[in-house]
Amino acid sequence: MQPRARSDAQLVFLAEADRPKSVLRGATQCAGSRRENSGGLGWYTALYPLVLRDQAGPGVSINPGIAMLLIHGLTEIDAGDAPIHGTHDTAAIALTGSAAATRSFGLLPRDRAATFRALADQCEAAQTPDAIPARSLDRAQSVVADPETGGGTRPGCNATRAQPETRVGEKVRHSAPALRGALTARPDQWFGSQRHG
């Protein structure tokens, strides 16, 4: 690919990468003023490995995790939001997300497309030492947000108290065990206020 054509392709992709800012998600921002969008969430969750790097296990590199979380939301341009506490056809979501990754990363020069796709697939599979904590921290965001938003990651999901543990806590236990205790207490703040409010 010629240098000009390569630059053009990269700029086309960057314009495409602006689109998650317009994809509204089910949850609200921590301030509760409006629904979050996929672009903002990508930036926000990419901060998690940077801030919580001391919670990661030995041998974990945070840079791949940051990259995974930054590009993870690009699939939501086509696939939309699948709330963590909702009920979904996970196989259908995986297929839609894969097609979305193929389309959006396909705008890049071939070498960059392959790199991005490998990161996205690694994040989705959550099997490598770098991807396991990244995916866990992506899920942890909902538990961090709920006390701030009055359960804002759960609208319309009929969430139970057990879901934060099964869908977040168990994942975090494998990648950042010290963080799990702090996260486990947070849902009680929301469920407790619902029970007694």
Q: Which of 6-10, 61-65, 144-148 has the lowest mean pLDDT?
A: 144-148
Residue 12 in domain:
no
Residue 11 in domain:
no
As a whole number, the mean pLDDT across the chain is: 80
Residue 117 in domain:
yes
Domain tally, the chain: 1
**Which CATH number goes with the domain that contains 139?**
1.10.3210.10
Whether residue 179 is predicted with pLDDT greater than 90 in this model: the reply is no
Could you tell me the pLDDT band of residue 19, with boundaries at 50, 70 and 90?
Answer: very high
Residue 4 in domain:
no
Largest pairwise CA distance in the chain? 65
Residue 7 in domain:
no
Residue 10 in domain:
no
Query: Could you tell me the residue range of the domain that residue 178 belongs to?
Result: 20-196
Residue 87 in domain:
yes
For residue 84, what are the contacts with CB-CB under 8 A and spacing of at least 6?
Answer: 139, 142, 153, 167, 168
Residue 64 in domain:
yes
The Cα–Cα gap between 179 and 175 comes to 9
pLDDT in tens, 43-84: 988 998 888 888 777 778 889 999 999 998 888 888 877 766
pLDDT in tens, 81-95: 776 666 767 788 788
